Amino acid sequence: MYHYQKSLSYKIFIIFNYFILALSALLCILPLIHILAVSFSGSAAATANIVGLWPVDFTLDAYKKTIGNENFVRALLNSLLRVVLGTSISMACMLCAAYSLSKSDHAFKGRKIYMWFFVFTMLFHGGLVPTYMVVTKLGLTDTIWALVLPSAISSFNLILLVNFFRTSVPKSLEEAAIIDGANHFTIFWRIYLPISVPAIATISLFTMVFHWNSWFDGMIYMSNVKHYPLSTFLQTIIVQQDFSKMSVDAETLKNLSERTVKSAQIFIAALPMLIVYPFVQKFFVKGIVLGAEKE
């Protein structure tokens, strides 16, 4: 596109540049490949630390043991429930709110107050302890609601949706609908939602990723390991290596602490992200640009 002299030094730089970039990309992907290789290796090879980027003594043992572990499967199901329920509640509440907030200050008196009500939560938090106490006092501990309700409204995502509604729904369409006697619910349902499918998909994906990855709330609000979502479960057994909360026999315990099984569990937890990643990435880029260009 630009015409400039391709000097020798520039050509050398270009080769060097490709090399550096390829190396950085490799650095980002190699850890995952290593874990994958360990998970497919025989447990003797893994313990002897001879696995690099390719499985040694290929076997599916670790995956069989993981799938056979009922604690793991239950945690996986908890996570799926959390993602589905959490995302639906979040999106339903945020979309309705964003519709109202997308009106002009003139047409909707009080909009500014609501807007500040939400923005303030981005600026100031009560902190960990008071929030924990509210959730406990409401009796939400050991229920799925402790995981989906406190984080249901993300002010940041809400503002993204408001900005999207404001910039991409044609005002003329809305005015025409008003003249035809449509009320706000109809306009929201028939005009706003169909037009905003890409934005809704983007924010839904943000929310799903958030729920799949969250683990800390599971750890502080769930006292019974049966209610742990997958991330919390993995945090307990892989990062903390704490098996005390699980009533497991010696055999299962031995399986759980095997390096190959740990790797298999890590990989299974990462898998949904790896699958949706290409889609999410495209949308995330849009989201960032959406966020950066709003005015």
Partner 1 sequence: MQTQTHLESQTVINKKKKLKKNGWNLRNTWQLHAMLLPAVIIVFIFQYIPLFGLVMAFQDYEPWLGFLHSPWVGLDHFKTMFEYEDARQVIWNTLIISSLKIVFNIVVPLAFALLLNEVYIMKFKRTVQTIVYLPHFLSWVILGGILIDMLSPEGGIVNRVLVSLFNIKPIFFLGDNDWFRTVVVITDVWKECGFNTIVFLAAITSINPTLYEAAIVDGANRWQQTVYVTLPSMLPIIIVVGTLSLGNILNAGFDQILNLYNPLVYKTGDIIDTYVYRVGLLNGDFSYGTAVGLFKSIISFILVVAGYRLAYKYANYKVF
Which residues 167-226 are close enough to bind partner 1 by CB under 8 A? 175, 178-179, 183-185, 188, 209, 212-216, 220
Least spacing, CB of residue 220 vs partner 1, in Å: 6
- Give the burial string for 192-213 (b: 16+ CB within 10 Å, else e): beebbeebbebbbbbbbbbbbe
Least spacing, CB of residue 267 vs partner 1, in Å: 9
In the bound state with partner 1, the residue whose beta carbon lies nearer, of 153 and 248, is 153
Q: Any long-range contacts for 267-274 (C-beta under 8 Å, 24+ apart)?
A: 267/32, 267/35, 267/36, 267/39, 268/63, 268/66, 268/76, 269/230, 269/231, 269/234, 270/32, 272/212, 273/209, 273/212, 273/213, 274/32
Residue identified by tokens 């009922």 is 70
Alpha carbons 79 and 76: distance in angstroms, whole number: 5
**Contacting residue, 15, 49, 181, 249, with partner 1 by CB under 8 A:** 49
CB 220 within 8 A of CB 132: yes
Question: Using the 8-state DSSP alphabet, how is residue 105 labeled?
Answer: T
119 binds partner 1 (CB under 8 A): yes
Query: With CB under 8 A as the contact rule, which of the stretches 5-13, 58-66, 74-82, 244-252 interacts with partner 1?
Result: 5-13
In the bound state with partner 1, the residue whose beta carbon lies nearer, of 61 and 236, is 236
**Contacting residue, 28, 249, 250, 251, with partner 1 by CB under 8 A:** 28
114 binds partner 1 (CB under 8 A): yes
In the bound state with partner 1, the residue whose beta carbon lies nearer, of 77 and 134, is 134
Least spacing, CB of residue 97 vs partner 1, in Å: 4
42 binds partner 1 (CB under 8 A): no
257 binds partner 1 (CB under 8 A): no
Window 258 to 287, contacts with partner 1 (CB under 8 A): 259, 262-263, 265-266, 269-270, 273-274, 277-278, 280-281, 284-285
Least spacing, CB of residue 49 vs partner 1, in Å: 3
45 binds partner 1 (CB under 8 A): no
Burial status of residue 172 (CB atoms within 10 A of its CB: 0-12, 13-18, 19 or more): exposed
Window 59 to 88, contacts with partner 1 (CB under 8 A): none
Sequence-ordered list of residues with C-beta below 8 angstroms from that of 212, at least 6 positions apart, any chain: 79, 83, 230, 231, 272, 273
In the bound state with partner 1, the residue whose beta carbon lies nearer, of 68 and 130, is 130
